[in-house]
Amino acid sequence: MQDRYLLDLYPNRGLTFVRGEGVYLETADGHRYLDMMTNYGVNILGYGHPAVTTALSAQAQQLPTLHGSFGNNRRALASRALVERLPIAPGYLYWANSGAEAVEAALKFAVMATGKRHFIACAGSYHGKTLGALSATHAPKYRAPFEPLLWRFTHVKYGDIEALRAAINEDTAAFIVEPVQGESGVVAPPAGYLRQVSDACTGHGVLLILDEIQTGCGRTGAFTVAEHEDVRPEIMCLGKGLAGGVPIGVTAVCERVAEKVTRGSHTSTFGGNPLAAAGVSAVLASLDDAMLGRITDLGEFFRAQLREISHELIADVRGRGLMVGLALKGRRDDVLKRLQRERILAIPAGADVVRFLPAYVIERDELARVAEACGRALATLDV
C-alpha cells in the first residue's frame, strides 16, 4: 500500500515486515527472515534488545526531545560516554540525525578550521547523498545528475599513499576516508595505510576526517577502526547503530577544530535529542570488551565458513569483524535472490559483492546456516 504514497526511490524487495525479534524480521503472516543486513548496519544489537528497549521506553515517557539550547542530563551522559571511547582527546561532539548529516558537519567544520575549500576523497568512496556528502562520494551514478557540486573535491586511488600526497596542495582543507569501504564492496586498504595517511596529513597541515559511519560502533571488532591502526584523526563521523536503531549521527572534533566552530554556524532541531541519547548510552554500555571480542570471533568463524564453499564464481571472502563481503565473478543478484527465498536477507555492495552486516548477537549456528545457503545458491547457478 505504501507505494501509492511514496516516491519510487528504493528497490522493491517484495517483502513487508511488521516486527523484529533478535536477529529475525517477521512478516504479517508469521514468516521469519534471518536479517544479515540490519538495515544497512543499524540494528547492531538486533531487535528488541532488552537494554535498548528499556532505555528508549523510559526516555520516551520522560522527555523524548529537547532543543540543544537547553541542557539535558541524558545528552550529557551519552556525550561523555562517547567521548571517552573515541581516539580524539579532548573531543567535542556535534549531534545529528544520520551519517550524511555527520559528514555535512565535518566538511563545514573543516572549512571553518582551515579557511580552505579543497578536499580529497577516494575513488570508490561513499559518504552519503546530501549535497556536501555527495561531493565527497565518488560514484558517478549518484553524482552526475546533480553536478556541479560543492567546493572542490579531488578523488584519489584508495590505499595509494603517493596518490594522496600528490593531490595535496596549499588550499587543501582535509582528506576524508573510510577505513574500510563498505558500499564499494567491503574493500580494505593495504596494512599500514591509515597510519601513513595520518602522517601525510599531519606533515602537510591537512585535517584527517575518518568516516566510521559503517565501520564504527564495534562493527570490525574494535569500537573504531582507528583503534586498530592507532590513528588519531582531527574529525570523526559516526552513525548507523550508535543509538540502537533510533536515527543518529555524530561528528567528533579535536580541540583545535572546536575552537574555530562558531555558535549558530551549524545546528539541528533534533540533534542530540534525549531519546536518541538514551539509545546511545544503552549501546555504549553493551559494547564492552566481551562483546567486541565476540564480534571478532564470530567474524573469523563466518569468513572461514564462507571460504569452505568451493565454487568457480567465488573471487574472494573479505572483511573485518562482522563486516563481511562475498566477492563473486558475476551473478551476485541471483545469489541475493536465492538467499531471500531461503529467508535470509543480505545486501549488495560494489559490482559483484554480497555484503553481510549481521547483528552482534547472532549465533554461530545462524552464521553457519547462511554459509550453507550461499553454497546452495551458487550450486544452482548455471555458469
Question: Residues 91-149: pLDDT tens digits?
Answer: 999 999 999 999 999 999 999 999 999 999 999 999 999 999 999 999 999 999 999 99
Residue 228 pLDDT: 84
**pLDDT for the residue numbered 4:** 86
Q: Cα(377)–Cα(3) distance, rounded to whole angstroms?
A: 30
Of 6, 32, 10, nearest to 19 by C-alpha is: 32
pLDDT > 80? residue 382: no
Residue (of 76, 51, 105, 81) closest to 266 by Cα position: 105
Q: CA 360 to CA 220: how far, in whole Å?
A: 10
| E-strand stretches of the chain | 17-21, 24-27, 32-35, 91-96, 118-122, 152-156, 172-177, 207-211, 235-238, 249-254, 314-320, 323-328, 344-345, 347-349, 353-356
Q: Given 3.50.50.60, 3.90.1150.10, 3.40.50.300, 3.30.70.100, which CATH number is that of 2-48+288-379?
A: 3.90.1150.10
Which residue ranges does the chain devote to CATH 3.90.1150.10?
Answer: 2-48+288-379
Cα separation, 322 vs 253, whole angstroms:
27
Identify the bridge partners of residue 20 per DSSP, sorted by sequence position: 25
Question: What is this structure's pTM?
Answer: 0.96
What are the tens digits of pLDDT across the range 32-91? 999 999 999 999 999 999 999 999 999 999 999 999 999 999 999 999 999 999 999 999
Dihedral (CA of 52, 58, 63, 68) sign:
negative
pLDDT at 376: 97
Q: Report which of 254, 237, 261, 266 is spatially closest to residue 113, judged by C-alpha positions.
A: 261
Confidence bin at 3 (pLDDT 50/70/90)? confident
Q: What is the mean pLDDT of residues 166-182?
A: 98
Q: What percent of the chain has pLDDT over 90?
A: 96
Domain with CATH 3.40.640.10 in the chain: 50-286
Output the CA torsion sign for 219, 221, 223, 226: negative
Fold topology of 50-286? Aspartate Aminotransferase; domain 2 (3.40.640)
- Residues 310-324: pLDDT tens digits? 999 999 999 999 999
pLDDT tens profile 178-218:
999 999 999 999 999 999 999 999 999 999 999 999 999 99
Place of cell 551519517: 99
In terms of pLDDT, which residue wins out, 228 or 147? 147
Q: Give strand pairing partners of 32.
A: 26
Q: Report, in angstroms and rounded to the nearest whole number, the Rg of the chain calculated over CA atoms.
A: 21
User: Which pLDDT value is given to residue 318?
Assistant: 98
- Which three cell numbers mark 337? 535472490
- Tens-place pLDDT, residues 247-292: 999 999 999 999 999 999 999 999 999 999 999 999 999 999 999 9
The pLDDT value given to residue 2: 81
Residue 374's region, left for phi above 0, alpha for psi from -120 to 50, else beta, is: alpha
Is the model's pLDDT at 383 over the cut of 80? no
**Residue 226: in which H helix or E strand, if any?**
helix 225-229
What is d(CA 297, CA 301) in angstroms, rounded to the nearest whole number?
6
229-258: pLDDT as tens digits: 889 999 999 999 999 999 999 999 999 999
